[in-house]
Chain A
Amino acid sequence: KCMQRQILDYFGRD
Chain B
Amino acid sequence: MLELRLIQGSLLKKVLEAIKDLVTEANFDCSATGFSLQAMDSSHVALVALLLRSEGFDHYRCDRNLSMGINLNNMSKMLRCAGPEDIITIKGDDGTDTVTFMFESQKQDKISDFEMKLMDIDSEHLGIPDAEYQAIVRMPSAEFARICKDLGSIGDTVVISVTKEGVKFFTRGDVGSANIVCRQNTSVDKPEDSTVIEMNEPVSLTFALRYMNSFTKATTLSEVVTISLSSELPVVVEYKIAEMGYIRFYLAPKIED
A12 CA to B128 CA, complexed, in Å: 8
Choose among A2, A6, A9, A11 the residue that contacts B157 (Cβ–Cβ < 8 A): A2
For chain A, residues 1 to 14, give those with C-beta under 8 angstroms from any C-beta of chain B: 1-14
1/0 per residue B59-101: CB within 8 Å of A? 0000000000000000000000000000000000000000000
The chain A residue with its CB closest to the CB of B129 is: A11
The minimal Cβ–Cβ distance linking A9 to chain B, given in whole angstroms, is 6
**B256 at the A interface (CB under 8 A):** yes
Choose among B126, B206, B232, B233 the residue that contacts A2 (Cβ–Cβ < 8 A): B206
Verify A2–B255 contact, CB threshold 8 A: yes
Choose among A6, A12, A13 the residue that contacts B44 (Cβ–Cβ < 8 A): A6
**B124 at the A interface (CB under 8 A):** yes
**B37 at the A interface (CB under 8 A):** no
Contacts A2-B206, A2-B256 given; does A7 touch B127 at CB 8 Å? no
Verify B256–A7 contact, CB threshold 8 A: no
Verify B40–A10 contact, CB threshold 8 A: no
Main secondary structure on chain A at its contact with chain B?
A: mixed
A5 CA to B157 CA, complexed, in Å: 13
Choose among A1, A5, A13 the residue that contacts B252 (Cβ–Cβ < 8 A): A5
Interface size on B, residues (CB 8 A): 25
Verify B257–A7 contact, CB threshold 8 A: no
Verify B126–A7 contact, CB threshold 8 A: yes
The chain A residue with its CB closest to the CB of B46 is: A7
**B234 at the A interface (CB under 8 A):** yes
Choose among B44, B129, B232 the residue that contacts A7 (Cβ–Cβ < 8 A): B44
The minimal Cβ–Cβ distance linking B110 to chain A, given in whole angstroms, is 42
**B47 at the A interface (CB under 8 A):** yes
A2 CA to B43 CA, complexed, in Å: 16
**B169 at the A interface (CB under 8 A):** no
A8 CA to B123 CA, complexed, in Å: 13
**B45 at the A interface (CB under 8 A):** yes
List, in ascending order, chain B residues with CB within 8 A of A12's CB: 126-127
The minimal Cβ–Cβ distance linking A12 to chain B, given in whole angstroms, is 5
List, in ascending order, chain B residues with CB within 8 A of A14's CB: 124-127
Verify B252–A4 contact, CB threshold 8 A: yes
Task: Name A residues whose Cβ lies closer than 8 Å to a Cβ of B.
Answer: 1-14
A–B complex contacts, Cβ < 8 Å, 10 sampled: A4-B208, A5-B252, A7-B46, A7-B47, A9-B252, A10-B232, A10-B234, A11-B128, A13-B127, A14-B125
Task: Name B residues whose Cβ lies closer than 8 Å to a Cβ of A.
Answer: 40, 43-47, 124-129, 157, 206, 208, 232-234, 250, 252-257
